[in-house]
Structure formats: C-alpha cells, structure tokens
Amino acid sequence: MTKTPRTLAMRVLDARKIAYHVQLFPDTIRDAAEVATQIGLPPAQVFKTLVVVRDDQPNAHPLLVMVPADHTLDLRHFAREIGVKSVRMASHDQAEKMTGLKVGGISALALLNRPFTVYIDHSALAYEQIAVSGGQRGVDLLLRVADLIAVTGAQPVAASHPQEANE
C-alpha cells in the first residue's frame, strides 16, 4: 500500500482544523477531466488551478483562477470581471517558476503565504464540496467550498465557459 503524502496544503488545512478527503490518482495524469474520472466525481466538481498574468502590469503579482475540469477560462470575460484590460495564461514554465509547484499540482492552498490573488469560478458555489489540487501531482483534496474560500480568500467570478469537444 502506498503511503499518503503529506502536502503543505494538507498541513494548512490540518492546522485550521478543516475537514478534507484525500483523493489519490496516478501522478502521470495532468488533465483535470481525467482526474475527475479517476476519483469518481463529475468534472464540474473537480477544479483545476490556472496561473494568469496581467498584460497591463507584467510585473504585478500573478493570479490563481480555479475553474471546473470541464470548463475553459474565458480570458476576456475574466479580465472584465476583475476590472483589468487584459490577461493571459502563464506558460507551463512560467507557472512552475512563479509558484514553485509542478503544473498538475498547483494549488491555492499550498501558496497561501505567496502574493497571489485567488479567484474561483462562481459555479463552485453550486456544490457543498469540490476537489482541488493538494499541491502535488496525483493528489486532490475534497473539501467544503465555504472552507476553501475562507482559507484562500478566493473571490467568486464568472470566469469560464463549458469546454468544447475539440478544445
């Protein structure tokens, strides 16, 4: 039996006495929809964390945006929602350099002491619990949406649209 890893995100939740369930899956899976299949949740209830940068202020702190596995971040709409001219996705290399975490394991819960502004797609509010990255590939944490928002300070926004089959 494989030992369950203890990630920074888990330690943060433990310290605040917040309940969560660890969801393990093969760390070779990086697609959030595949993660949903592996852990037995609908893709709309498994959230991926994306790193976004502001075009108008390239030196500004990056943004973390949590969106459902079966959705795509709408960059224009998101920029309007947060009141900036434009934003873009960070490249994989940029995201890893900015967060210190590997793509597929980027977690707002593991970056609390770092200068990120955190957003969550408003669709999360329809669920009592969602799964988010536990801070390393192969580990998701299922926790209450209210607890996730309270700990991360995530601001709900209308930021995504359903993913097209060819995306």
Packing angle of the helix pair 8-15, 145-152 (nearest 10 deg): 100
> Within a domain: residue 6?
no
- What CATH number does the domain containing 143 carry? 3.90.960.10
Per-residue pLDDT reduced to its tens digit, 150-162: 999 999 999 898 8
State residue 5's pLDDT score: 77
Q: For the chain, give the number of residues.
A: 167
> Within a domain: residue 3?
no
Q: Where on the phi/psi map is residue 40: left (φ > 0), alpha (ψ -120 to 50), or beta? A: left
> Within a domain: residue 9?
no
> Within a domain: residue 13?
no
State residue 165's pLDDT score: 54
Q: Give the C-alpha separation, 43 to 69, whole Å.
A: 5
State residue 76's pLDDT score: 94
Per-residue pLDDT reduced to its tens digit, 103-144: 999 999 999 989 899 999 999 999 999 999 999 999 999 999
DSSP 8-state class, residue 144? E
> Within a domain: residue 151?
yes
Per-residue pLDDT reduced to its tens digit, 47-89: 999 999 998 776 778 999 999 999 999 999 999 999 999 999 9
Per-residue pLDDT reduced to its tens digit, 6-21: 899 999 999 999 999 9
> Within a domain: residue 81?
yes
pLDDT > 80? residue 37? yes
State residue 3's pLDDT score: 66
> Within a domain: residue 8?
no
Smallest CA-to-CA distance from 106 within 28, 20, 97, 14 is with: 97
* Number of domains the chain is built from: 1
State residue 166's pLDDT score: 46
Q: Which domain holds residue 116?
A: 20-162
Confidence band of 1 (pLDDT split at 50, 70, 90): very low
Confidence band of 2 (pLDDT split at 50, 70, 90): low
DSSP string, 1-18: -PPPP--HHHHHHHHTT-
- Cα-flanking dihedrals φ and ψ of residue 9, to 5°? -60, -40
Q: Are the C-beta atoms of 51 and 98 separated by less than 8 Å?
A: yes
